[in-house]
Structure 1
Amino acid sequence: MRRGWAIRTVAAGGALALALSGCGGGGSKDGKGSGQGNAPAKSAAEASAPAGGWPQPENGRLTAKMCGLLTDADYAKYGHQRMPQEDAGPAQDGSNTVYCTYMLGDQLTLGLQKSAQGAKIAFKQGLDRHKDRLKGKQSVLASNVVQGADESWVDYSTLGGGPSEYEVEARRGGLTVGIVLSEVPQHPDKDPKGMLAALAALVLRRIPDVGKTDTGIVHQVKYVVWGSGGAALQIVYSDPVNNKSVTLKNVRLPWHKEFPMPDTGSQPTAALSITGAMGSPAGVLGCEVLVDGKSVQKKEPSAGMTFCDAMYHS
């Protein structure tokens, strides 16, 4: 079973711009192509809402009912036959995410972060992973293709399935929308890139208010290292947002690093740590970790090296 935050699409270059302008998937009135922040008019051919309206979050949570935001008719409009649904349900990691998978690999994924900043970070992480996985393979990456989104991209599939598999991901505020198309469309005149960009825009129109209001706090983490000697031989710090360790060499002192740490709800604690080492035992170093301007760990300068660590509970 394939699960991800993406939309798979076809065709590149000028064909994309032409397809988007024709099917409402992207582009702006001035012809520059971004279309970001503009609410597109409802297409005359757009499907009518079901009885009770399009499914919306319940008590702030995305549900499997929201798999119904796209219908078989929506896909058929662009020449693609979507296969029967294989699975639908929330993520198992506690995040506010729902996966909708279909036979042969078609997929719709919705994710909702507590803040736009959190979704922005998740969007960037997803794009970085995509670029890493397609390194050395074909790519037709295009950005800002989904109308109504703050940011979006479309390319061949992250899974590297070849020119018949494409994906797109869009973010509006705290909401991310991903769609995967695993097969080329049955209609030879239709462009999968334009089709998937249009489908993503359709989802955004059907849940117009979702993701526009922050419901969580974005904390600010700050690492500080100071001391004598002018420079530290090495500084190593943990990045809780990207869940990785970062090493810096020959760092001028004093030094500091700041970054946002959104409250995701699925990761209630974060490990914060920083280590500094001098090139000679005569030098001294001190360190401090602050969250929202409040010190959570501080070490006064000591000879040779310093180390600060803390577990932060959001």
Structure 2
Amino acid sequence: MAASMMAGSPRSPAIWRASVWLGSLVVALLLAGCAPERSVRVEPAEGVELVQPGGEREGVYRVASGDTLYGIAFKHGMDYRELAQLNHIAAPYTIYVGQQLQLGQQRARNTLPPSASNAAGQAHTTTAGAKPPHPTARSGGVVENVIREPAPGKPPATLPPKAPATAPVAQPGSKPATAQVVPPPAATPSVPAAGKPAATAALPADDAVRWRWPAAGKIVGTFASGDPTRQGINIAGAAGDAVEVAADGVVVYSGSGLIGYGELIIVKHSEGWLSAYGHNRKRLVAEGDAVRAGQRIAEMGRSGASRDMLHFEVRRRGKPIDPMTVLPKR
């Protein structure tokens, strides 16, 4: 028995080292399985653009049906000439549905919803073995690219090799096929957002504009600089009362596409002056109409408001000013 123990003793260190090595390997594998999820940075592939949530890139407005350059500039507090210059648009400022207009970084930050604060190319977290989300279609046909990671221990999936193309074999006695040339489809012309161009009547200089009151009612709301809900004055009245244009000009917007204004009319009086008439019950003029001071352009109402009234704004070079500073005293 002593001889047997002496014979087995030389192999004991080797067995011990093998056991230690095997145990270390098991511990390492267990630790790898408990490793925290990895952060993978999604980089846009060549020719692919990541967009902000909501479908609009920061600093860009996509033209919708019924939009005008003046209405878009009015909505974003811009001078229409600045917006036209940014986008290389010449008079009469025709824009097209789906066209993307540059607004500038600061104005884009003020108009984007809170959910659009994520920057393109931010780090996305993926868990090994987890099923990635389906790509989401974005406005303008842009699709968010997704990186799929293989599960631990599995090789990355590969596409099967493409079968080589084989040339067709001509049958004896058959006639050779003739290729048919198909002409390319005719290009579809872009559709203007607004069908009627603005009138090209000569407008006076800024200092030649003469103002008058657009309605005869009592003032029930005053202007407050910097308050986006008080960029003009509110004049009370009854449903159907006359709304008159405050100075000679051309109608550059007539619609209901600007949230908070209801049925709205915007009139251009000179290169620097615009006036706006909101909450109407009925609009009586269309875009492109030339109007004269005192002309009835709408019927008073409460569209987008809690009472019958006219919301009247005056803007100089795109910036709201207190209408009381230009209207005559009464």
Regarding TM over 0.5, the answer is no
| Higher alpha-carbon Rg | 2
Q: What's the TM-score once normalised by structure 1's chain length?
A: 0.22
Q: TM-score, normalised on structure 2?
A: 0.21
* Greater RCO, CA 8 A, separation 6+: 1
Q: Which structure shows the higher strand fraction?
A: 1
